[in-house]
C-alpha cells in the first residue's frame, strides 16, 4: 500500500518532470513565434475558425519547441560554458539527451501531422524545412561566423508565411512580404542580442556579430542598413491591399523609432544602447503585426 508521503513525493516528481519538459520548449519564445504565424493566418484567411486557430497555434508551438530542443541537444556542452544557459535542463543534468530527443520527436511529428492533415501539405513541408534549418544548419554555424544569423533569419521569418499558406494553400507576394518584414527585422534583433551577450557567447565560441566581429561602428552600420529596409517594406501590405493605411503609418512610425535607436547605437557603441535596441526590437514586431491585424478587422 502506498503511503501518503510516497504519493505526494510521486506527484512532486511528475510535476518536476513536466516542468523540465515545458522548460525545454522555451515556451515564451515559441509562443511569440506562434503569434507571428497566427497573424499571417488571420491576414490570409477569409474566415477564421476558432478550432483551426487553436490547432495552428498548438502545432506552431510544438514545431518551434522541437527545433529549440534540437538546438539545446547539440549545444548541451557549450551551454555549460555560458552563465546564461548553464542552468538549462540538459547541461544541468535534469534530463538526459535521449529523453529530450524523444520529446522533440513527439512534438515535431505531432505538429507536422496537424499541419498536413488539418491545413495542407505545403504548410507541413515549410514547417519541416524551418525545423531542419534552425536545428541542424543554423545551430552548428553559430561557431563559424555571422553567416549563422543570415541562415537563421530564414526559419525565423517563416512563421507568418506559414500562417498565410496554411490559410490559403498558395504562395504569392503577400506571404513574401510578411516573410521579408520578419526577415530584415531579425538582423538588428539578433545582433543587438549578440552585442549584449558577446562576452558569454565568446565562452562557447559563438561568432555572431557582423563585419569584423567587434562591437564597433562597422557592426552598427550593418545593423542600421538592415533596419532601414523595414521602412519601405512596412508599407507594402497596404499597397497590396492586405491591410489599411492606418497600419502603414504605424509601421512607419515604429520603423523610424527603431531606426533612430540604431543611430543612437552608432553614436555610443555601448552595451546599454545595444540593450535598448534589443528591447526596441521586441516592441517593434508585435506592435506592427497587431496593427496589421486590427487594420484588417
Q: Mean pLDDT across the stretch 112-121?
A: 97
Residue-level pLDDT at 220: 96
pLDDT band at 168 (very low <50, low <70, confident <90, very high): very high
* Total-model pTM: 0.92
pLDDT band at 3 (very low <50, low <70, confident <90, very high): low
- 216 Cβ contact partners less than 8 Å away, ≥ 6 residues apart: 269
Residue-level pLDDT at 238: 94
In the DSSP assignment, the letter for residue 115 is I
Q: Counting runs of H as helices and runs of E as strands, what totals does the chain give?
A: 15, 0
Report the alpha-carbon distance of residue 111 to residue 131 in Å, rounded.
Answer: 11
**CA-closest candidate to residue 263, choices 158, 184, 188, 204:** 188
Residue-level pLDDT at 280: 96
Q: Taking the CB of residue 206, how many other CB atoms lie within 10 A of it?
A: 22
- How high is the mean pLDDT of the chain? 93
Report the alpha-carbon distance of residue 168 to residue 62 in Å, rounded.
Answer: 21
Contact 212, 223 (CB under 8 A): no
pLDDT digit string (tens) for 205-246? Answer: 999 999 888 999 999 999 999 999 999 999 999 999 999 999
Residue-level pLDDT at 217: 92
Residue-level pLDDT at 14: 86
Run of H or E including 223:
helix 217-228
**CA-closest candidate to residue 74, choices 148, 138, 145:** 138
Report the alpha-carbon distance of residue 142 to residue 152 in Å, rounded.
Answer: 9
Residue-level pLDDT at 1: 55
Q: Quick check: 43 pLDDT over 60?
A: yes
**CA-closest candidate to residue 41, choices 58, 22, 66, 62:** 58
Report the alpha-carbon distance of residue 31 to residue 39 in Å, rounded.
Answer: 12
pLDDT band at 26 (very low <50, low <70, confident <90, very high): very high
Q: Taking the CB of residue 47, how many other CB atoms lie within 10 A of it?
A: 6
Q: Quick check: 81 pLDDT over 60?
A: yes
Residue-level pLDDT at 297: 72
In the DSSP assignment, the letter for residue 28 is H
Percent of the chain clearing pLDDT 70 (strictly above): 96
Contact 144, 207 (CB under 8 A): yes
Amino acid at each position: 500500500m502506498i503511503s501518503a508521503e510516497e504519493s505526494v513525493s510521486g506527484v512532486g516528481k511528475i510535476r518536476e518532470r513536466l516542468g523540465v519538459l515545458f522548460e525545454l520548449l522555451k515556451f515564451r519564445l515559441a509562443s511569440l513565434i506562434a503569434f507571428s504565424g497566427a497573424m499571417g493566418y488571420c491576414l490570409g484567411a477569409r474566415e477564421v475558425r476558432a478550432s483551426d486557430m487553436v490547432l495552428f497555434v498548438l502545432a506552431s508551438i510544438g514545431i518551434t519547441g522541437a527545433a529549440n530542443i534540437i538546438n539545446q541537444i547539440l549545444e548541451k556542452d557549450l551551454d555549460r560554458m555560458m552563465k546564461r544557459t548553464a542552468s538549462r535542463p540538459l547541461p544541468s543534468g535534469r534530463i538526459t539527451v535521449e529523453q529530450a530527443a524523444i520529446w522533440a520527436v513527439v512534438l515535431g511529428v505531432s505538429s507536422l501531422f496537424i499541419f498536413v492533415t488539418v491545413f495542407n501539405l505545403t504548410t507541413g513541408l515549410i514547417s519541416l524545412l524551418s525545423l531542419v534549418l534552425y536545428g541542424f544548419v543554423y545551430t552548428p554555424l553559430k561557431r563559424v561566423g555571422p553567416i549563422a544569423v543570415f541562415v537563421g533569419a530564414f526559419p525565423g521569418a517563416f512563421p507568418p508565411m506559414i500562417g498565410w499558406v496554411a490559410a490559403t494553400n498558395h504562395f504569392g507576394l503577400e506571404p513574401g512580404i510578411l516573410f521579408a518584414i520578419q526577415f530584415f527585422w531579425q538582423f538588428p534583433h539578433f545582433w543587438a542580442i549578440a552585442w549584449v551577450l558577446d562576452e558569454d557567447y565568446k565562452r562557447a565560441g559563438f561568432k555572431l556579430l557582423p563585419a569584423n566581429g567587434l562591437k564597433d561602428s562597422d557592426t552598427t552600420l550593418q545593423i542600421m542598413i538592415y533596419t532601414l529596409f523595414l521602412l519601405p517594406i512596412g508599407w507594402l501590405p497596404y499597397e497590396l491591399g492586405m491591410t489599411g493605411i492606418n497600419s502603414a503609418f504605424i509601421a512607419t512610425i515604429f520603423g523610424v523609432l527603431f531606426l533612430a535607436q540604431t543611430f543612437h547605437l552608432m553614436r555610443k557603441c555601448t552595451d546599454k544602447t545595444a540593450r535598448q535596441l534589443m528591447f526596441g526590437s521586441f516592441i517593434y514586431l508585435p506592435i506592427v503585426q497587431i496593427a496589421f491585424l486590427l487594420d484588417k478587422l
